[in-house]
Amino acid sequence: MSKKTIGLLLALSLGLLALGCTTNNTTTILPPEQQPPGIAVSGSGSAFGEPDIAVLSLGVEAQATGVAEARSQAAEAMDAMLDALKEGGVASEDIQTTRFSVQPRYDFTERRQILVGFTVTNMVTAKIRNIDDTGDLIDAAIEAGGDLARINNLRFTIDDPSALEDEARLEAMAEARSKAETLAQAAGVVLGAPRSISEDGGPVPIQFERIAFSDAAYATELVGTSIELGELEVRVNVQLVYGLELE
């Protein structure tokens, strides 16, 4: 056999070997690296401030024997409530529809389901930036909506809570650091720098219960709604893993 032939066979053998390596389904998995020693702790912090935004959920609920009649009643009452809010200073861009539904109403007689009418519900959320006007706006909206008016809930929040979040964040970090130092001292090790930091939290809304006004006389004779703002809590929770400096 000539040297040329031997060389050709050797090259072909190497090519097949390389092909076999590339099509091999066997995967070699390296063992995971051991995590370096550390201390995992958590901390929480709170800061308080006066809310400057009211978020009001309100709308109408109308019932009638036909869909068109129920929808017409709901639309008329809803338009009146929205006009009252806008005349009171609420901007159009601060009002958003959150629910609109048309539901059949049934009566059950002698084990039979009989259609008796329809319920149309239309709900919106309104952001009240002049928070001192909240009570007056609620009264105006209820009066405008009449028997169909519904107030689902009212909550207060802070439009820009970043300053309070920073204050709460510092408190949470200090608490976590104190825990880590105590644990390290008890274990006889030296605390190192944080290896990971995560957080969650934010403003805790002041929430009021749902109010429904279905009595026109009550809504008309309602004394001005009194709203107490109180203070809003901004809470931040942090989770840290500190490294250890082993001696």
* Structural domains counted in the chain: 2
pLDDT, residue 17, reads 41
pLDDT of residue 109: 82
- What distance in Å separates the CA atoms of residue 95 and residue 126, rounded to the nearest whole number? 4
- Domain presence at residue 17: no
| DSSP state for residue 131 in the 8-state scheme | G
Provide the whole-model pTM. 0.64
Same domain assignment for residues 185 and 167: yes
Determine the residue type at 224: G
Residues 221 and 108 in one domain: yes
> Does residue 129 form part of some domain?
yes
56 and 115 fall within a common domain:
yes
Residue 163 reports pLDDT greater than 80? yes
User: 74 with 186, same domain?
Assistant: no
* Claim to verify: residue 118 and residue 197 sit in the same structural domain: no
The CA distances from residue 76 to 69, 70, 79, 160, in Å, are 11, 10, 5, 36
16-20, 173-177, 200-204: segment of lowest average pLDDT: 16-20
pLDDT average, residue stretch 194-200: 92
pLDDT tens digits, one per residue of 43-68: 999 999 989 999 999 999 999 999 99
**209 and 89 in a common domain:** yes
Asked whether residue 15 carries a pLDDT value surpassing 80, the answer given is no
Enter the tokens of residue 242. 């500190």
What local confidence, expressed as pLDDT, does residue 95 receive? Answer: 97
pLDDT at 214 over 80: no
Q: Identify whether residues 145 and 223 lie together within a single domain.
A: yes
Averaged pLDDT for residues 139-157:
94
Model confidence at 234: pLDDT above 80: yes
In a domain, 148, yes or no: yes
Query: Are 122 and 60 within 8 A, CB to CB?
Result: yes
Which pLDDT belongs to residue 233? 87
Are 169 and 128 members of one domain?
Answer: no
Decide which of 105 and 22 is more confident: 105
Distance CA 34, CA 68 (A): 70
For the cut 80, the answer to whether the pLDDT of residue 35 exceeds it is no
Q: Give a yes or no: residue 185 inside a domain.
A: yes
Question: What's the pLDDT at 26?
Answer: 39
Q: Which residues are 212's β-sheet partners?
A: 150
Domain of 77, in residue numbers: 51-159+205-228
- Residue 225 — pLDDT band, cuts 50, 70, 90? low
Same domain, 214 and 117: yes
